[in-house]
Structure 1
């Protein structure tokens, strides 16, 4: 479908502790040897769409890590449901029976992967007990939802950390752990990236002290036309040196949260969650797709992934434009 010779802007990150290099070179995407084992993760709206992507393509996605998000199809195509039952309304909880019935119908119709495809997946869930944006009870509903599909030993739910709404890391210099502030990456002395990857992948090597791979800008509108009007023009791909040289590597997709795309926080999310350092030592390629904020048509002023229906009523199925678009990005990388 897509050729790996498509022109891309790449940035070789010689020192990931500094800003991205201003001078960019034109290159072709290295021919990657990607293993079939695909995993996903995401925070907040990124967590919602990571779970949606998992359910839609569970025949390929064998691991999902979701931070600070609720059950798939929680909003039921209704923004008010999203803002209430699926976020921070203390007196309400997601309507799991109705939600799960809808998902079962979609699975039976072939609009989601069959439930049996989820049985060999691993799932890691995280909810900070001080999260006031997506309340712990909402994330608990996601855990309860996954219990119907995922074996007990493959499903892990971390809900005992007193963290606010953010991606917790061991990196210094970011938001205090009890705060939920831009760029929504916090210094908690907690290695969420290492925790989630070790659960999804099994035994992993310690992270590199400093990421030294290649950060590549992807022309998303060209590679993923299914949602060209909703994705940002450019996404990002982190490629360790070993993967660029042709080693067999696994692909992991990391979805940013609301107000966390490059246009709003710069390269903070694509550099500072800790994923890239683990990628270097564990032969992982990290895809960082980017959604675009918009004031109207669609109404997405905070740059959130669609988990309530702004892209259309089928947003949580294989017909959802954003799910189709990210799938197209994956297919392009596998060419």
Structure 2
């Protein structure tokens, strides 16, 4: 039984293992930040895309925009890894029942486990699915699109699904071959997905230059979030532009990596190569990159995925879920004079 669960948990990640580790960092504290936490945006790839939707619905009273690359509808797995594999990854013999899944969100909202769904009407939603993505079926991403249309005015939804892109985060010029899904799952696609997404989610962004002013810091997730971070890595990343470090009021964006994109697998690649920092740097936006870890024991998570099927908590998809609470704590800790000691990295290699 345990062996079968391990195999399923390994398959559900949909990405191949990578063995690189992130390098050394110098010790320095993250500056006290003045963040506007009333209009946060979030994004994510694959399992991170599922988590982005979960986090946004949980806190749609202050998370006003969401970008999802290669993921399916909210509560698709129904807390069961077998269901996740049968309906929510690359198999579509049985399509997700969007109306049934949406009823779960309605029930959570009535119980106060997620924010009121009325907040979703004016939310900004950006969705992406590559035409040669073999890890997440197009029908699965289509189901997410149909689900968002139940909550959100269609004028606020953008769905990009006509580009020849594999299962990865597409960029203008960084990463590996755009047509192949391989570590670190960031593709050189001559397409700035980060810019397209952020310009949809946030009004009046300035076009970025090619120089980064800020720094990438590592934060102690365990020290900040305590037991809620027990399925997360010891450290996560946060990119802080120079203006934000100097005390200017800044926006906040959270981006969730995919399976096998956690730091012990790809280093800081996801936190430096997607292009998010480039846009954030010239638009006073702090970007939080929380990190998971792999686990070969219970709870099984051999590919370091975000919890979108219930391995970490029965409430994984709502405000009471450990990972959602932990990430919320991480974000709020950045807007505080009582921050933990953090580690700084130079992000000039983006």
Q: Same fold (TM over 0.5)?
A: yes
Question: Measured at CA, do residues 146 and 187 of structure 1 come closer, stay the same or move farther in structure 2, by a change above 3 Å?
Answer: same
Moved more, 88-97 or 146-155: 88-97
CA distance in 1, matches of 2:58, 2:25: 39
Residue 334 of structure 2 is matched in structure 1 by: 333
Question: Measured at CA, do residues 226 and 196 of structure 1 come closer, stay the same or move farther in structure 2, by a change above 3 Å?
Answer: farther
Mapping of 1:170-189 within 5 angstroms? 170-172=172-174, 174-189=175-190
Q: Is 1:109 paired with 2:116?
A: no
Alignment check: 8 A CA contact 1:214 1:239 kept: yes
Unaligned runs of 5+ in 2: 1-20, 337-350
Alignment check: 8 A CA contact 2:57 2:114 kept: yes
Residue 301 of structure 2 is matched in structure 1 by: 300
Alignment check: 8 A CA contact 2:22 2:266 kept: no
Structure 1 position 280, deviation (Å): 1.0
Cα RMSD after superposing both structures? 1.4
Residue 224 of structure 1 aligns to a residue in which SS?
helix
Q: Is 1:236 paired with 2:237?
A: yes
Per-residue CA distance 1:22-72 (angstroms, 9 max, x = gap): 450333x21111112200000000000000000000001000000000001
Q: Is 1:76 paired with 2:102?
A: no
Residue 227 of structure 1 aligns to a residue in which SS?
helix
Question: Measured at CA, do residues 70 and 24 of structure 1 come closer, stay the same or move farther in structure 2, by a change above 3 Å?
Answer: same
Question: Measured at CA, do residues 123 and 226 of structure 1 come closer, stay the same or move farther in structure 2, by a change above 3 Å?
Answer: farther
Structure 1 position 135, deviation (Å): 0.7
Residue 257 of structure 1 is matched in structure 2 by: 258
Structure 1 position 212, deviation (Å): 3.0
Alignment check: 8 A CA contact 2:221 2:330 kept: yes
Residue 147 of structure 2 is matched in structure 1 by: 145
Question: Measured at CA, do residues 226 and 148 of structure 1 come closer, stay the same or move farther in structure 2, by a change above 3 Å?
Answer: farther
Structure 1 position 286, deviation (Å): 0.3
Runs of 4 or more consecutive aligned structure 1 residues displaced over 2 Å after TM superposition? 19-23
Alignment check: 8 A CA contact 1:298 1:311 kept: yes
CA distance in 1, matches of 2:48, 2:134: 17
CA distance in 2, matches of 1:23, 1:72: 37
Alignment check: 8 A CA contact 2:218 2:238 kept: yes
Alignment check: 8 A CA contact 1:226 1:324 kept: no
CA distance in 2, matches of 1:281, 1:217: 21
